[in-house]
Every structure is written in structure tokens, then in C-alpha cells.
Amino acid sequence: MFKTQNISVLKHNPEKLDNFVRTENYGDIIYLLRKLGKLSPDFDQSPLLYLLKKDNDNVRYLAVKNLAKLSNPSLIGTYKELLKSDSSAKVRRESVSAIGRLRKKESIPILIGLLDDYDPEVVLQAIRGLLVFKKDNLVKNELKKLSEHPNEIVRVVINKEFNNNHNNLDEKTNHTQSPEFMKNVVVRGDVREIIKYAPDESIHLTFTSPPYYNARDYAIYQSYDEYLKFLEDVFKEVHRITKDGRFFILNTSPIIIPRVSRQHSSKRYPIPYDIHPLLIKMGWEFIDDIIWLKPESSVKNRNAGFLQHRKPLAYKPNACTESVMVYRKKTDKLLDWNIRQYDWDVVNKSRVNEDYETSNVWKIDPVFDRTHSAVFPLELCNRVIKFYSYIGDLVFDPFAGSGTFGKSALSLNRYFFLTETKPEYFERIKENINQKMLSENYREPTFLDLKTFISNTKRK
């Protein structure tokens, strides 16, 4: 078995190293190549060159990776040859990266020649290498041609480098602020009417659970298409009023519409999967898929038939999960930019210092409400607010139901904005939110009809 202390001996003894790579098995060679660490410019490269002829992709890839550490311009020809003839994507990608690392003007034509490579990772590595010379007019022009490249990451990188209009935006908006007339406000009415009066980029976070198509009685749609169109309209507006680079978190799950009679089957609708492409198209970037896991005993039992007959095809698992899909308003700004907009004191007070869930499976018991049939557990809202907003932010739930999200926002020193169409749920929100102790510096929640809300927006 190969010993770790041998690495240093081999690294400093070219003959031993040469013998080792010619006689040892791939496992040990790979181990050595991974552990070689920094290499001095006078390191004997011939054992590494010998490994480039081996039939193991990993060995060739790691050999290139180590050769690149030598920053030796005379290896350009070797890398070019690998790019032309090696069958492994990993080896080709590492070769272009090695050329880029040389930071030599003579690499420019080679890197430009790779901008139409069939592998987008090779193109990206070539871009990385060329960006060092982006002031050179030839390089700039060649890179700009990629702004319509079929690969989305290539397009984003090029547009960020050459069409950067951050400064305008930074001056225009104050990222941490939000309109006073929306703070701790609940409006009764159809969200599609209300949201029109919310200014662009006015909220920091949305968390919502929309109606479950026609599975519950609080909303009725003529067809599934009409339902999806309704959600699309609302979420486009949510996108408009969300601040740059901030989050939209959507809780949904597939639903089942029971069969009409024994002669028919029930129908299952995969709501999360059907909404996802609509969200991407309107400019949300997919970030994470969190699973809300409930105890099996708390959900409807669909197993009774199968338990008896055990006939394949008729298996029906109990649905103990819901999706909590996390999206970010598409931007070329990094999350660091969003965080930097806050004062140090706010960042410090907003830190999540307690134990927290590290996986994407959130085990939370459902809760039941005397008025509303599908309420968020407070714990679910608390996690979303703590992980995805800062103290003093304005958070929104367009389908507020009993107002759980608002209650959570108040207790965690965020402002809420809620809309709910049904009068009985609107009344439930009043009870729910007024039960809460208001924290210091917080304004009294207000409960408005659409007309009053509209007149408040005009007074702003």
C-alpha cells in the first residue's frame, strides 16, 4: 500500500518518480497526483508527460492539472494537441485552463480559436483566460460576439462583463427600504387588483402557498389551464415588485381530484412541476428544492387497497411531503451585493445563531386551524423568514389565508404585507395578528379594503 510520507520522496527524486509512474497501479498514481501539492519550476515534468499517454481519463486529467502548476509556456503545444485529440471532456477542459493560467499573449489566438468549441465548459475556460486581456480590442470584440451564445452561462458571463449597468441601478434604488404604506398592512380583495398599486422593487421576500387548484373550497377555477394562468399573472407581478436579487419561496404539492364514479379514475395534478417552467420564463432563477416532510400519520391514507391486494400498478404511496421551492429574482449581482446593502448592525442582529436545519428536508408537523383548512405551521414561516430576509425587511404573502406568515414576520422584527380575498379569513388574520405582542418600534397592523389601500398609495 502506498504511504503518504513517500510523496515527498517521490516529488524530489525524478528517477524514483519516473519508476513509480511506470510500475504502479492507477489507484496509487491517482492518489499521488492528487497529493503532489505545489511544484517548483524546476520540477522534472517528464513523468507527467509520460502519464498523458495512459488510457485512464483521471490519470491524464490529473497529469495536466499538475503540469499547469509549472506555468511552462513550452507546454502550449502539448495542451493544444490534447484539445485536438483527447476523448475526455475533463482532460480537454483542464488543458484549456492550463493555457489560460499561463497568462501569455501568445495564448490569445489559441483561446480565441476555442470560443466556438462544442463543449461550453471549454468555451467558459477560454473566456476566463481571455478576460485577463479584455482591454485588448481584438479580445474584446471576439468576446462580445458571444452575447447570443446558445449556452446560458456563457451569455450571462459576457453580458455581465460588457453590458454592466450596475451603477445606475445602485443609485436608483435603496435596497433596504420599502414603502411606508405597505408596512404591516393587510388588504382584503383579489391580489391581482391590489398588487397593481405596489411599486416596482418594493418588497424583500415573498413566501406563499397558493390555492390548491380546486382541491379545497376556497377557490374555483374553470380549468387547470385557467388556474395556471392565474398563478402566472400573480407571480409575474410578484417578480415586478421584488427587489433585485431577492427571494420568492413557493409552497405547493401535487393534488388529487377524486374520481367521478367507479368507472373513472381520479386525476392527479403535478402543480410544482407545471409552475416551475412558468417561473423560470418570467425571470426567476431556481435556487433550491426544500422538502417539507410531515409525519405519515398526519396525512390521508391512500394505502388501504394495496395493503389488501398487493397488485403491482395499483400502488399508491401516502403523500407526506410538500415542495418548498426557492427562487431568486434573476440578476447578475452576487448575494454578497445584497448583503452589503445592510448596515453591519442589521446584519449582526439578523444572524441565525441557534441550531438550524442543515439539510433540504424540513421535518415539521402540520397544524390545524378552526377557520382555515390549510394553514402554514408557524415553524415553517419562521425558518423561511430567518433564512431569507433581514430585520426590517418587508415580506409578502399574496395568499395570506389565516395570516401565519404575517404573525411570524411580526415576531421576527420584519414588516409584512398580506392580501386575502375571503372575508372570513381576513377576519381570522385580525384575530391572529392582534394576538401577537408588538415588538419595539413596530407599527400597529392595519386592515384595509381595496379602496382605502388605493387612496393610501396616492398619499405616499
Ligand X SMILES: C[S@@+](CC[C@H](N)C(=O)[O-])C[C@H]1O[C@@H](n2cnc3c(N)ncnc32)[C@H](O)[C@@H]1O
**Rule CB under 6 A: which residues touch ligand X?**
190-192, 209-211, 218-219, 372, 374-376, 399, 401-402, 404, 419-422, 425
Where is 253: in which H helix or E strand?
none
Residue closest to ligand X when measured from CB atoms = 401
Distance in Å, CB of 440 to ligand X, minimum: 26
Produce one character per residue of 334-363: b if its CB has 16 or more CB atoms within 10 Å, e if not: eeeebeebbeeebeeebeeeeeeeeeeebe
- Alpha carbon distance 324, 280 (integer Å): 16
> Which C-beta is closer to ligand X: that of 422 or that of 436?
422
What DSSP letter does each residue of 131-158 carry, written as one string? Answer: HTTTTSHHHHHHHHGGGG-SSHHHHHHH
Q: Which segments within 277-338 are labelled E, that is strand? A: 284-293, 321-329
Q: At what angle do helices 137-144 and 120-131 cross, to 10 degrees?
A: 150
> Which C-beta is closer to ligand X: that of 95 or that of 432?
432
Distance in Å, CB of 418 to ligand X, minimum: 9
Which residues on adjacent β-strands are paired with residue 446? 185
Distance in Å, CB of 247 to ligand X, minimum: 17
> Which C-beta is closer to ligand X: that of 94 or that of 322?
322
Distance in Å, CB of 408 to ligand X, minimum: 9
All cell numbers assigned to 55: 488510457
> Which C-beta is closer to ligand X: that of 129 or that of 210?
210
Distance in Å, CB of 197 to ligand X, minimum: 14
> Which C-beta is closer to ligand X: that of 404 or that of 413?
404
Cβ-defined contacts of 282-286 (< 8 Å, 24+): 282/232, 282/235, 282/236, 282/239, 283/239, 283/329, 283/330, 284/235, 284/239, 284/248, 284/327, 284/328, 284/329, 284/330, 285/327, 285/328, 285/329, 285/330, 286/325, 286/326, 286/327
- Alpha carbon distance 121, 180 (integer Å): 47
Distance in Å, CB of 157 to ligand X, minimum: 38
> Which C-beta is closer to ligand X: that of 191 or that of 203?
191
CA 447 to mean position of chain CA atoms: 34
> Which C-beta is closer to ligand X: that of 159 or that of 371?
371
Distance in Å, CB of 217 to ligand X, minimum: 10
